[in-house]
Chains A and B, each alone.
Chain A
Amino acid sequence: MFLLKLVFRNAFRHRLRTLLTITGLAIAVLAFGLLRTVVDAWYAGAAAASSARLVTRNAISLAFFLPVSYESRIRAVEGVTRVARSTWFGGIYQEPKNFFPQFAVSPAYLDLYPEFVIPAEQRAAWTRDRKGALVGRQLADQFGFKVGDALPIKGSIYPGTWEFVVRGIFDGADSGTLTRHMLFHWDYLNETLRKKTPRRADFVGVFVVGVDQPDNAAAVSTRVDEVFRNSLAETLTETEQAFQLGFVAMSDQIIAAIRVVSYVVIVIILAVMANTMAMSARERTGEHATLKALGFGPGFLAALIFGESAAIAAVGAAIGIAAGAPVAAFFKQAAGIFPIFEISPDTIALQVACAAVVAVAAAVVPAVQAARVRIVEGLRSIA
């Protein structure tokens, strides 16, 4: 009890210095948490992807398409339950910075994605309207889309301005579902292409394939690719998760840089904290000698310094972690590019761990010095 009291008295002896250190620590812990969350947000697409769905695409690269005739041949493969078409549209809504993904899909797509929850009458309305579009809840909230709104999109891959009408808004089944995209009829795209550029018609970007059992995913992938070996358009089939991770991997050096930088901020704050502890301990050399003269052992003095470091770090970390959720919510609103931006329990655990490491590392040298101080020399020293 006495030790704890002394620790707290000591910690707040230099109120300004402690306050500054706590602020610094809180900011660092907060920044660390946000950076980890940015990395998590990068992986959100892969995290939300199912390993029970496969994506079949052209083996050359995503810029090459597959003939629509492949659909029936994929469906005939053993273990395949459903096949849906999906083509990346890559259009621009008003201006390029309003980027969001648009996919031209066949109706079976919605059956393959039960996590997109849509009211039955809206789905029926969409099915009836060839120019109908479905928008995700996150997207609708960002741009204020409502059912019945006209939605003109300027094509970059497919020239011209395309007119859509919002016929439904789908919600995510849970908070991890990404709903910041738009779906419309593949038939609308295809029929327009047939009229304008017939050579580009009857092609599909990727096929989304449902398998009967997730365990069969690998076997079914191999069987699908086997069907099209040595054809004009060889396929590459992988689980949706692997497909999404492929995108993440392309920017892996940026992610690696963010990861490194998230630890740099911890090192910065470690330097600040170590400085504070070193200064405090040096100023109190005389006191430490007095305590020793009174009979307190070196262990007590070390505990005193570690305790002070831990107290400051605990308060700073607590503030930093508590500020995490509201700041993340604000950041999500302000940036508008990350549909999922929540601080995960893992991140909080890492924040606590980092604060603990900082607390211990900052106190090691001053604690050892205090424990070793010779009474006579210590008493002689002045600040």
Chain B
Amino acid sequence: MAIPLSYIARNLWTRRVTTLLTAGGLALVVFVFATVLMLDAGLRQTLVATGEYDNVVAIRRGAGTEIQSGITRPQAAVIEMHPAVARGADGRPLVSKETVVLIALKKAGEEKPSNVIIRGVSAAGFTLRPQVRVVGGRLFTPGSTEIVVGGAIARRFEGTRVGERLHFAQRDWTVVGTFDAGASGFDSEIWGDAEQLLQAFRRIAYSSVIVKLARVEDFEQMRTDVDADPRLTNEVKRERIFYSDQSRALSTFITVLGLTLTAVFSIGAMLGAMITMYASVSNRVGEIGTLRALGFRRSAVLGAFMVEALLLGLAGGICGLGVASLMQFASFSTINFQTFADLSFKFILTPAIVSQTLVFSLAMGLLGGFLPALRAARLEIVDSLRAA
């Protein structure tokens, strides 16, 4: 017969201060664990959301990012005319020939500038990215020195409100609108007219060419053709894969650093749980003897203490997760090691993270409580009754 759960739970309640301190330690570890996972999930989701599945990005072979890439006008024209490219209502191919450069801008209230991506797009650029919507002001007029800024830029950088001017490449650029790009990487970019930016930065080659496929399954054909064409020194990737590749280095960094930390911290918290559980056992030697004398088996005593430890872990897990879920209101920005530009993303709590975190906290409780529970189960009835 098992020892009732209410009896076990009341034991934790009786020694509130100790329970609170131990669960608090566990909760902090759980908090760190959950935030790391949330940060990584946010980063991935941001960069995955940036790409459309039926869009294709062409860059120079081996360049890896748009910043390092270059595509000449003749090459861009060849890609544009590929039969797999979808056509718009006007019969023209849905293609955006883009120029992507970094400019250094100051964040509000900070001295050191951060790198920001400025992207010149063709007229079809907005059609190709349906998640990008102008929310304030208006779109830039093609052929003018007007720019629109992403939401994450408008919130954090100086001189990026509608009506203000930014000076770079020997020109003044008027901010005429802000756009919302959902939770995607474009939110951390500034967009303008591709040809104007090419002129201003004195470039003759585009950085990348983005096309929409008429049929999703044509991608393989297009890749084969581009690889085989002797005029092209380019490679094509599905846009979604292109952007999620860019999250890899930062994502690995965050995960490795974060999980190493959590592993080390969890040792500390488990020791805390172990101390508490050992004390719980030694305070109740007589009680354990009584339980055994009443007919509860060793396994029941072992189970009772394990459940007590699990409840402790669960309490810590729920508290930690609760605080971590508040982090969803915060956003995080850092340099993406691969594009070298500032990227802003949110902490995202997914059901998978919730279950991973709870399993983690239960495991800490279990590991911390096992040895003390074993000691409790191995007590002899006579000895323990005498000790009381």
A residues sitting closer than 8 Å to B (CB atoms) are 16-17, 20-21, 23-24, 27-28, 31, 35, 38, 59-64, 90, 154-157, 159, 199, 230, 232, 234, 245-246, 249-254, 257-258, 261, 264-265, 267-269, 271-272, 274-276, 278-279, 383
| For the complex of A and B, 7 pairs with smallest distance between CB atoms | A249-B112, A272-B272, A250-B335, A271-B25, A24-B271, A275-B21, A61-B102
CB contacts under 8 Å to A, within B252-284, are 257, 261, 264-265, 267-269, 271-272, 274-276, 278-279, 283
Of the residues B103, B112, B257, contact of A61 by C-beta under 8 Å? B103
Offer 12 A-B interface pairs, CB within 8 angstroms, sorted by A.
A17-B275, A24-B271, A27-B267, A35-B261, A60-B102, A64-B101, A156-B68, A159-B60, A253-B334, A275-B25, A275-B272, A275-B275
- Which among A63, A154, A258, A267 has the highest number of chain B CB atoms within 10 Å? A63
> Which chain A positions have C-beta within 8 A of B60?
159
A250-B334, A271-B25, A274-B21 known; A64-B64 Cβ under 8 A:
no
**Docked-complex contact B110 and A249, CB < 8 angstroms:** yes
Nearest A residue to B253 via CB reads A254
Closest CB in chain B relative to A18 CB, distance in Å: 9
> Which chain B positions have C-beta within 8 A of A258?
257
**Docked-complex contact A199 and B204, CB < 8 angstroms:** yes
> Which chain B positions have C-beta within 8 A of A230?
170
> Which chain A positions have C-beta within 8 A of B115?
61-63, 250
Mask: chain B, 112-127; 1 = CB below 8 Å from A; 0 = not: 1111000000000000
**Docked-complex contact A275 and B276, CB < 8 angstroms:** yes
Closest CB in chain B relative to A338 CB, distance in Å: 12
- Which among B18, B110, B272 has the highest number of chain A CB atoms within 10 Å? B272
**Docked-complex contact B268 and A27, CB < 8 angstroms:** yes
A60-B168, A271-B22, A278-B21 known; A27-B264 Cβ under 8 A:
yes
Closest CB in chain B relative to A104 CB, distance in Å: 16
- Number of B residues whose C-beta is below 8 Å from A? 55
Of the residues B104, B111, B113, B268, contact of A269 by C-beta under 8 Å? B268
Closest CB in chain A relative to B373 CB, distance in Å: 15
Nearest A residue to B18 via CB reads A275
Closest CB in chain A relative to B27 CB, distance in Å: 9
CB contacts under 8 Å to A, within B116-157, are none
**Docked-complex contact A154 and B274, CB < 8 angstroms:** no
Q: A28-B268, A265-B261 are in contact. List 9 more A-B contacts (CB 8 A).
A: A16-B278, A60-B101, A61-B104, A61-B115, A62-B104, A63-B67, A90-B68, A268-B28, A272-B271
CA–CA, A17 and B201, complex, Å? 68
> Which chain A positions have C-beta within 8 A of B168?
60
> Which chain B positions have C-beta within 8 A of A254?
334
Mask: chain B, 80-122; 1 = CB below 8 Å from A; 0 = not: 0000000000000000000001111000001111110000000
CA–CA, A24 and B67, complex, Å? 47
A90-B68, A250-B334 known; A264-B275 Cβ under 8 A:
no
CB contacts under 8 Å to A, within B269-319, are 269, 271-272, 274-276, 278-279, 283
CA–CA, A159 and B235, complex, Å? 13
**Docked-complex contact A232 and B102, CB < 8 angstroms:** no
**Docked-complex contact A31 and B113, CB < 8 angstroms:** no
**Docked-complex contact B25 and A272, CB < 8 angstroms:** yes
Count CB-based A-B contacts (< 8 Å).
Answer: 142
**Docked-complex contact A251 and B334, CB < 8 angstroms:** yes
- The verdict on B76 contacting chain A, using a C-beta distance below 8 Å, is no
> Which chain A positions have C-beta within 8 A of B283?
383
Closest CB in chain B relative to A228 CB, distance in Å: 12
> Which chain B positions have C-beta within 8 A of A60?
101-104, 168-169, 201
Nearest B residue to A257 via CB reads B332
Closest CB in chain A relative to B376 CB, distance in Å: 14
- The verdict on B342 contacting chain A, using a C-beta distance below 8 Å, is yes
**Docked-complex contact B61 and A63, CB < 8 angstroms:** no
CA–CA, A261 and B61, complex, Å? 40
Closest CB in chain B relative to A157 CB, distance in Å: 5
B residues sitting closer than 8 Å to A (CB atoms) are 17-18, 21-22, 24-25, 28-29, 31-32, 60-64, 67-68, 101-104, 110-115, 168-170, 201-202, 204, 233, 257, 261, 264-265, 267-269, 271-272, 274-276, 278-279, 283, 332-335, 340, 342
> Which chain A positions have C-beta within 8 A of B274?
20
> Which chain B positions have C-beta within 8 A of A271?
21-22, 24-25, 28, 272
**Docked-complex contact B28 and A267, CB < 8 angstroms:** yes
> Which chain A positions have C-beta within 8 A of B61?
159
CA–CA, A167 and B175, complex, Å? 52
**Docked-complex contact B17 and A278, CB < 8 angstroms:** yes
> Which chain B positions have C-beta within 8 A of A250?
112, 114-115, 334-335, 342
- Which among A232, A249, A251, A268 has the highest number of chain B CB atoms within 10 Å? A268
**Docked-complex contact B62 and A154, CB < 8 angstroms:** yes
**Docked-complex contact B271 and A31, CB < 8 angstroms:** no
A17-B275, A24-B271 known; A246-B233 Cβ under 8 A:
no
Nearest B residue to A337 via CB reads B253
**Docked-complex contact B268 and A268, CB < 8 angstroms:** yes
> Which chain B positions have C-beta within 8 A of A234?
170
CA–CA, A97 and B226, complex, Å? 28
CA–CA, A28 and B264, complex, Å? 8
CA–CA, A356 and B234, complex, Å? 61
Nearest B residue to A383 via CB reads B283
CA–CA, A16 and B201, complex, Å? 69
**Docked-complex contact B28 and A264, CB < 8 angstroms:** yes
Nearest B residue to A260 via CB reads B32
Nearest A residue to B104 via CB reads A61
> Which chain A positions have C-beta within 8 A of B25?
268-269, 271-272, 275
> Which chain B positions have C-beta within 8 A of A23?
271
**Docked-complex contact A21 and B275, CB < 8 angstroms:** yes
**Docked-complex contact A24 and B264, CB < 8 angstroms:** no
CA–CA, A246 and B271, complex, Å? 41
> Which chain B positions have C-beta within 8 A of A17?
275, 278-279
> Which chain A positions have C-beta within 8 A of B32?
261, 264
> Which chain A positions have C-beta within 8 A of B18?
275, 278-279
**Docked-complex contact A265 and B265, CB < 8 angstroms:** yes
Closest CB in chain B relative to A98 CB, distance in Å: 13
CA–CA, A171 and B111, complex, Å? 34
Nearest B residue to A265 via CB reads B265
**Docked-complex contact B112 and A246, CB < 8 angstroms:** yes
Closest CB in chain B relative to A71 CB, distance in Å: 20
CA–CA, A69 and B202, complex, Å? 17
Nearest B residue to A26 via CB reads B268
> Which chain A positions have C-beta within 8 A of B202?
232
Nearest B residue to A34 via CB reads B264
